[in-house]
Structure 1
Amino acid sequence: MAPMTSIRLSGDKIEIVNQLLLPHTTEFIEIQTIEQAHDAIKSMKIRGAPAIASLAALSFGAYLSRGLEASPAPEYLASPEALRDHVLPILDFLITARPTAVNLGAATRRLTKTLQSSIDAGKDPRSIVLVLIAESHLVADEDVGRNKEMSKWGGEWLIDQVKQAGGDGTSLNVLTVCNTGSLATSGYGTALGLITYLHEVGNLGKAYYTQTAPYHQGSRLTALELKTLQIPSVMICDTMVGSLFQHHKIHAVAVGADRVAKNGDTANKIGTYNAAVLAARHKIPFIVVAPISTVDLDVADGSGIPIEHRPPLEACIVRGALHPPTLNAQGQKEQAQVMITPTDLYEIYNPSFDVTPAELITAIVTEKGVAVKKEGSQIFDLSAIV
């Protein structure tokens, strides 16, 4: 079956699937303004580091495209300097939607660099805008190809590791956390892409995935993607990882990343660190799969990664379809939010991400290849894969 999609593009018309309503309702929302893009990212109607970078870039490009067609022409097209002064605050604003995800910052920095190089080349404002629009589309278009590359690198590396350990490299069982498939990217996925690759080449046994509370990206989104792709899979609660490792043969844990520091420390969805600690205890390879844009060489280690804290209420409520199912007038399942805690709790710790130290990570995979630590080292040299 065809993979799912997070962003649908037709000319300058941008639509995203509202991931807050999945898996029960598939609703596409049109993004017409920069503010709507910012809200969609911040409210997690769209999520996944590559996907939010793509939306930010595409919405920026669409904004500029509308400016070219406006009559009278916007004042920011009067000169290259006016254009720069107008668009830089827009790019800065987009970054604030999800501060931990470095892909978002990488996309805006890429567009800023393109802007400045075009100004330095003496281009006129309209020519600069055309270059920026083209670059914004490249940010999204390049994602699918690189996802397939890193998924193959990681999948083949794992097969080889299992063979070196005396296995035949088939029927591999892999656990993942959160959602890192087509819904989190522009297509195919990162860690879920690795699982998809193993399935496609006939080497996957089962994919295991955590529910990933409190937003349940695993039980809502990864479950839906694996079901759509007809990949054999098993859901577990976040608290069941240790039990799974005790009683089932798991060949690897594969996770995505929202930011990888220079030494290999990795920020990813909350619960990743827990899985890494347990994987180390059970000597299970722990693989981080992420594009080069996720690697932040300006951050020395995980202590320098900003960690987003979500609104406390999000840890107190769950959203889903009514059970038994009840259909609305449109034939869709009725959904509701329910509170699972006492009201008016005063102390709620709700970070959206945690940081897994490099010492617990076995391999880091990008579209350029696989990095492992030198013997005796607790940190990575990522120079060969960025």
Structure 2
Amino acid sequence: MAALASIRRRPDKIEIINQLLLPHTIEWLEIDTIEQAHDAIKTMKIRGAPAIASLASLEFAQDLSRALKESPPPSYLSSPEALQAHVTKTLDFLYTARPTAVNLGTATRRLKGVLQSSIGAGKAPKDIAEDLIEEGKKIDDEDLGRNKEMAKWGGEWLVKEVQKAGGSGEGLNVMTVCNTGSLATSGYGTALGLITYLHETGKLDRAYFTQTAPYHQGSRLTALELQTLKIPSTMIVDTMVGSLFQHHKIDAVAVGADRIARNGDTANKIGTYNAAVLAARHGIPLIVVAPVSTVDLDIPDGSHIPIEQRPAIEACVVRGALYPISDNLDANGNKQQAAVMITPEGLDGIYNPSFDVTPAELISAIVTEKGVAVKGADGKFDLSEITGTA
């Protein structure tokens, strides 16, 4: 079966799959405005660092495309200065939707760079807008190809590492956290892409994935993707990671990233740090798989990564379909959704960070579409070769 998609591009509209309703209901939402794109990202109707950067860029491009067709044109197309003010305000607003994911910031900075270059070249507002539209679409187009590249790099690195240790490099078991597949990207995926690559090349025995509380991106989304791709898999509760490592042969933990600092410290979905500590205890390599755009060379280490604090209610409820399913279909035959409170009312405090930071010392390899970085003799990462800045 074909992989699931997070974004569907039509000639005159953009649609996203509402990930809040998965896996029980497939609902495509049309994104018509910048405000709708911002809301979809902030409320996690779409999530995954590459995917939210794609949606923001595509809606930005769509918004400008519609403006060029208006008669009379909007006032911000009257001069390069007016267009610059409008574009800057729009991109800054989109960035506020989810600030931890560096891909979104990278995309907005890239679009601002095109804006400045086009203005510097003395272009008319219409031509500047067309340059920005082309760049916005390009940001999305590039994602699928680079995902396949990094998945191949990471998969082949793992096979060689297993063979170095005396293994065959086949029948591999890989655990992952959260969701890093097609639903989190424009296709194929990052860490889940590595697992998919191993499956496609006959090297994988089984994928293991955590539920990833409190939002359950693993049990809702990764489970659905692996099932769709017919990849043998086993779900575990987050607190079972240590037990899994004690009693089963796990060859690697592969995770994605929302931001990677210059020294290799990595922010990823909450629970990744826990898994990394346990993997280190059991001698299991931890592989971070993410596009170059996720590497933030402007910050020295993980202490400079902003950590998004999610609304407390998200840690107090579980979402899903009412059970028994057959008795709870809506008028269209879809399984009805429910959010069930699992905590007492009025708790004094709820700690709900969306991400944690895994120190570089716990990471075995960092993989981008440009290659694999491992720690040198000094125990430190040099990310220049895998970011194209060498």
- Which blocks of at least 5 consecutive residues in structure 2 are unaligned? none
Alignment partners' CA distance in 2, 1:46 and 1:344:
29
Whether 1:162 aligns to 2:162 is yes
Structure 1 residue 216, shift from structure 2 partner: 0.1
1:113 maps to 113
Alignment of 1:59-70 (within 5 A): 59-70=59-70
- Could you tell me how far apart the structure 2 residues matched to 1:333 and 1:260 are? 39
2:366 to 364, 367, 381: 364
CA–CA distance in structure 1, aligned partners of residues 313 and 77 of structure 2: 43
Could you tell me which residue of structure 2 aligns to residue 327 of structure 1?
329
Match of 2:268 in 1: 268
Partner residue, 2:385? 384
Q: Is the 8 A contact 1:263 1:380 kept in 2?
A: yes
- Where does residue 172 of structure 1 map in the other structure? 172
Number of the residue aligned with 1:316? 316
1:153 counterpart = 2:153: yes
- Report the Cα distance in structure 2 between the residues aligned to 1:376 and 1:70, rounded to whole angstroms: 59
The whole-number CA distance in structure 2 between the counterparts of 1:82 and 1:216 is 44
CA shift, 1:105, in A, is 0.2
1:87 matched to 2:78: no
TM score, norm. by length of structure 2? 0.98
| Alignment match, 1:341 | 343
Name the aligned partner's letter for residue 338 of structure 2: A
Report what 2:140 is aligned to.
Answer: 140
Q: Partner of 1:183 in structure 2? A: 183
Identity, in percent, stands at 74
Give the match for residue 234 of structure 2. Answer: 234
SS state of the match for residue 385, structure 2? helix
Aligned-partner residue type, residue 358 of structure 1: A
In structure 1, the partner of 2:354 is 352
Do 1:289 and 1:366's aligned partners in 2 also have CA atoms closer than 8 Å? yes
Taking the aligned partners of 2:12 and 2:343, their CA distance within structure 1 comes to 43
Distance 1:10 1:165 in 2: 49
Which segment drifts farther, 222-231 or 331-340? 331-340
| CA distance in structure 1 between the aligned counterparts of 2:368 and 2:87, rounded to whole angstroms | 31
Q: Shift of the alpha carbon at 1:334?
A: 1.2
CA offset at residue 335 of structure 1?
Answer: 1.2
RMSD (Å) for aligned C-alpha atoms:
0.5
Aligned equivalent of 1:3:
3
Point out the more displaced range, 136-145 or 73-82: 73-82
Q: CA deviation at 1:86?
A: 1.0
SS for the counterpart of 1:385 is coil
Residue aligning to 2:98: 98
CA distance in structure 1 between the partners assigned to 2:348 and 2:134 by the alignment: 48
Q: Equivalent residue for 2:293?
A: 293
Find out whether 1:43 has 2:51 as its counterpart.
Answer: no
CA distance in 1, matches of 2:246, 2:305: 32
Indicate the SS of the match to 1:253: strand
Deviates more, 1:219-228 or 1:318-327: 318-327
8 Å contact 1:12–1:65 — kept in the other structure?
no
Distance between the aligned counterparts of 1:80 and 1:217, measured in 2?
43
Q: Which amino acid aligns with 2:162?
A: V
**Distance in 2 separating the partners of 1:380 and 1:346:** 42
Q: Which amino acid aligns with 1:31?
A: I
1:19-58 paired onto structure 2 within 5 Å: 19-58=19-58
Residue identity in the other structure for 1:134: E
Superposed CA deviations along residues 291-322 of structure 1, whole A, max 9, x for unmatched, are 00000000100000000000011100011001
Q: How many residues align?
A: 385
Structure 1 residue 375: Cα displacement? 2.4
Name the CA distance, whole Å, in 2 between partners of 1:361 and 1:110. Answer: 29
Report the residue type matching 1:342 in the other structure. P
Following the alignment from structure 1 to structure 2, what is the Cα–Cα distance between the partners of residues 47 and 12?
A: 23
Whole-Å Cα distance in 1 between the matches of residues 28 and 49 of structure 2? Answer: 19
Q: Deviations over 1:124-163 (max 9, x none)?
A: 1101111100000000000000000000000000000000
Q: Which amino acid aligns with 1:52?
A: I
- In the TM superposition, what is the alpha-carbon distance from 1:328 to its structure 2 partner? 1.5
Alignment of 1:271-282 (within 5 A): 271-282=271-282
* Moved beyond 2 Å, runs of 4+: none
What is the alpha-carbon distance in structure 1 between the residues aligned to residue 196 and residue 131 of structure 2? 35
